[in-house]
Amino acid sequence: MQIETKGLIIRENSVGESDRLVTVLTSGEGVVRAFARQANKVKNSKLSATQLFSYSRFTIFKGRDKYIIDDAQPIEVFFDLRRDIERLSLAQYFCELAGALAPQEAEAGDFLRLMLNSFHFLCKGSRPNSQIKAIVEMKMLSLAGYMPNLVCCSGCSCYEAEEMFFLPRKGLIYCRDCFSDFTEPAVRLSRGALTGLRHIIYADFEKLFSFGLSKQGLKELSAASEQYVLSTLERSFNTLEFYRQMKTED
C-alpha cells in the first residue's frame, strides 16, 4: 500500500552508513516511523526532506510491519530554528512532546497544525518563547484528551477572583477561599494569566497565538503549563531539561 502525505520530521536517526530512520508527524496517519534508504548521502534527494524539523511531501510504502519512504520533497525546512540555541532546544522539546502525545495510525491534523504554527512563530520571533511553549504544552495535552477544566472554581463555581489557583495534578482551578482546604502543589494565577490559560484551551485555532501578557502573567502561565505536563504525563523530558539550560528569558 502506498501513501501520499505531508508530514513533519520530529525525530531522525542514522542507520548504518547511509540510511535514516525517521519519525514523521502526518495529518492522516498520525505518528509514523519510516526508513529512508540512502537518505544520508549528499546527492540523495531525500537528504533535506528527511532531516529534523523538515515539513515535506512524502510517498511512503506501508508494509505489514514497516514503512519505507520511496520519495520525499521538502516544503519548509525551518532553517532559522538552528540560528538560535534556545529556539532550537524548544523546537526539539516540542518534537519529543508530539512523539509522546500524538496518535499513531490515526488522524492527527490538529497536532501537525499546532507544530507548524509554533515553528513559524519561533522562526519569526514575534512571540516570547515562553508563551509559545505554554501554548504548545496546554493545547497538545488538550488534543490528546487531557483538557483541564478552567471554566470556574471547582469549589464555589465563581468564574473569576482576584487570585485563583491552578492544581496541575487535578487540572482544576480554585479561588483563594476554596483553595485553603488543599495542601497539594498549585500555581497562583493572576487575572491575566488565567485569561491566557483559558484562551489557549477554549479559543478557536485561528486565534490561538493571538494574545499578550505582562511579564509576570507570562511567568505564571509558563509555570502552570509546564507543571501540568509533568504532573499529567508523570515524566520529564531530556529536551525540556536542555531547554531550561539554554533559556535566557527571565
Question: Of 38, 55, 77, which residue constitutes the final position of a domain?
Answer: 77
pLDDT of residue 45: 67
**Do 73 and 84 fall within a single domain?**
no
**Do 60 and 84 fall within a single domain?**
no
Q: Give the SS3 label for residue 57.
A: strand
**Do 150 and 232 fall within a single domain?**
yes
CATH (domain of 90): 1.20.1440.120
Residue 121 CB contacts under 8 Å (≥ 6 apart), including other chains: 127, 132, 209
pLDDT of residue 63: 76
The residue segments making up the domain with residue 236 are 80-246
**Do 126 and 63 fall within a single domain?**
no
**Do 127 and 73 fall within a single domain?**
no
pLDDT of residue 170: 94
Question: Of 54, 77, 100, which residue constitutes the final position of a domain?
Answer: 77
**Do 110 and 121 fall within a single domain?**
yes
CATH (domain of 64): 2.40.50.140
**Do 100 and 127 fall within a single domain?**
yes
**Do 194 and 241 fall within a single domain?**
yes
Question: Of 51, 77, 103, which residue constitutes the final position of a domain?
Answer: 77
**Do 26 and 95 fall within a single domain?**
no
Contact assessment for residue 232 and residue 171, using Cβ atoms and an 8 Å cutoff: yes
pLDDT of residue 40: 62
Number of independent structural domains in the chain: 2
Note the helical H segments in the chain.
85-101, 109-124, 129-143, 176-179, 191-202, 215-233, 238-246
Average pLDDT, 10 consecutive residues per value, the chain (250 residues): 92 82 94 81 72 94 83 93 95 98 94 98 95 98 98 95 93 91 88 97 96 95 97 95 83
Q: Which three cell numbers stand for residue 1?
A: 500500500
pLDDT of residue 62: 83
**Do 160 and 223 fall within a single domain?**
yes
**Do 146 and 218 fall within a single domain?**
yes
Contact assessment for residue 50 and residue 12, using Cβ atoms and an 8 Å cutoff: yes
**Do 59 and 113 fall within a single domain?**
no
Residues 46-97: pLDDT tens digits? 778 889 999 999 998 887 778 888 888 999 999 999 999 999 999 999 999 9
pLDDT of residue 248: 76
